[in-house]
Structures are given as structure tokens and as C-alpha cells.
Amino acid sequence: MQERILALFLLLTGISFLHKATTVQAHSWLDCSNLLPSGQCAGYPIGYPTRANPDINTLYTYLISGRPANGPVCQPGRQDIFPSKNPKNLPPASTKPGGKLHLTWQPNGHLEEKRTKVSVYWSGKPNKLIKTRSELSNPQRLLKEMDFASPQNCDDPKNPNTICHGYITIPKGTKPGKYQLVWYWPFDKNPVGEEYSTCFEVDVIAPTTPSTPPKKGSEPVKKPKKPTKTKQPVKPTKKPTKKPTKKSTKPKKTKRDQVLGAIEQMWM
């Protein structure tokens, strides 16, 4: 009888331990993917319901339990939509190559617990997605690793829902386009594996090339143009006008007159 009671006790203890081991003990997600210096968020993760939604814990907590190699890294049906279909008031983050993005999240009571790390992954290519957990093992996909929650990166260590901060930089030379990024937090206090992820989009915009003024001395020296001589208008020459000849008023002599004149000369 005592053996049966002991066996039943061990069975119940094992079930209780297994229940505790598989129960979600932490949860968190990315809230903003581009916090401006003004305090306004200018970038939101995919499918974000906002903190104003009372069901955000249920809607947006994505737990990857058991460390499945082929498990989806983005929450199916909400965060695996790419490009994102967020409403206009919740746009994705955007930046230029070489630009820095300011990420924020809440630790939900896990400040400095085990000093866990958050990692941000990407494919480095526009429109190329990371789909499974096994793809995160590729070190070339790691963009940045940072503290999850510590006094150094969180606003108020005494507040369980304080804001924590992290920064990533889009490498220079990144081609313009839409990129999928994965915010990944392996809490792993649970023996079976407890990891949380949030997928977000970043629109990389082509940099503008400002026109630079030419340096001094770089321009060729232009020779002064010789003054062109203005041609004086040629005055038209007046043709000399011929004076009209006066016509003789004397009547012309006839042959008869000429003969008579010659006879007269002879007699004189």
C-alpha cells in the first residue's frame, strides 16, 4: 500500500514539474522599430496591434517552445506577412544605407534576469525572408546582439514595464528595397526551451546625392574675349547726277540753206 502511495506521489510530482517546465514563464515583443529623438515612434513591427489593445499579450506574444529546428520564426498568420500590410498610422521603419534604428520593448518583469540577450537577424537581401529557426544559426544573418534588460539599456530598473532600448545600423552599401528583420529573445529559463520573436520590416531608401560646389582652382581659367569691332554702317554713295544739256533753240539748216550760204561766201 505504501509503495502505491509513493508511486502515485512521484507521478503527481513529475506531472507538476512537467507542467511548470512547459508553462510560459516570460513574454516580450518588439514595440517600436524606429524611435525618433522626439519620442515619436516612426516604425512598427508587422501586424502590431498596439499597446492600446487589451489583448496584445494574447495577440502578439509569439513563443517558440522546444527549440524546433524547422519551427516558423515569425508568428504564422500575423507576422509572416511580407511586405507588411500595416495601416498607414503604423508604418514600417525606413532609413538610408548606414542609418541607425532605435528599437524599444518592455521586459515585463525580467529586468537583468540571467542577463539574457536579444539578437536581430536579417538575410541582407531585399525581399529575402528568414522562415525557420534553423536559419538563425547562420552567423552571417546576425546583424546585432544586445542586452535584453539591464540598468544600462532600460529607463527605470524598478519598473517591471519600463522601456528598454537597443540600436541597429543598416550597413553602408545596402541596396534600396524592403528587408525583413527578426527580433529574437531566447529566454530559455524553461528546460524545454523558451524563445520569443518579433518580425519587422525596414524600407531602405536610396541615398540622395547632393550637388557639391566645385573646389577653388578646379575650374579652367577662361580667357577674356577680345572685343569685337563694330562695323560702321556704310553710307550709300550717291551717283553723280548729269546736268541736263540745254537743247539748241536754233532751227536746223537744210541743204538748200547750206548751198545758199556757200554761194554767199564765194561772193564776199
How do residues 60-80 score in pLDDT, each as one tens digit? 999 999 999 999 999 999 999
Q: How many CB atoms within 10 Å of residue 143?
A: 18
pLDDT digit string (tens) for 82-117?
Answer: 999 999 999 999 999 999 999 999 998 887 766 899
Which cell goes with 144? 546585432
Instruction: Say which amino acid occupies 133.
Output: R
CA separation for the pair 101, 103 (Å, rounded): 6
CA separation for the pair 82, 105 (Å, rounded): 22
Residues 223-252 have a mean pLDDT of 58
pLDDT digit string (tens) for 169-178?
Answer: 999 999 999 9
Give yes or no for residue 43 having a pLDDT over 70.
yes
* Residues of the chain by 3-state class (helix, strand, coil), percent to 5: 20, 20, 60
For the question of whether the overall pTM of this predicted structure is more than 0.75, the answer is no
CA separation for the pair 64, 198 (Å, rounded): 11
Which cell goes with 106? 518592455
Give yes or no for residue 267 having a pLDDT over 90.
no
CA separation for the pair 132, 74 (Å, rounded): 8
Which cell goes with 7? 508511486
In three state form, how does the secondary structure of 116-167 look? CEEEEEECCCCCCCCCEHHHHHCHHHEEEEEECCCCCCECCCCCCCCCEEEE
User: Nearest 5 degrees, angle CA 105-CA 103-CA 195?
Assistant: 50
Q: How confident is the model at residue 5 (pLDDT cuts 50, 70, 90)?
A: very low
Which cell goes with 243? 546736268
> How, if at all, do strands 142-147 and 117-122 pair?
antiparallel
Instruction: Say which amino acid occupies 186.
Output: P
Q: How many CB atoms within 10 Å of residue 187?
A: 20
What domains can be seen in the chain, in order of their start residue? 27-204 (2.70.50)
User: Residue 103's closest CA among 24, 159, 185, 174?
Assistant: 185
Q: How confident is the model at residue 7 (pLDDT cuts 50, 70, 90)?
A: very low
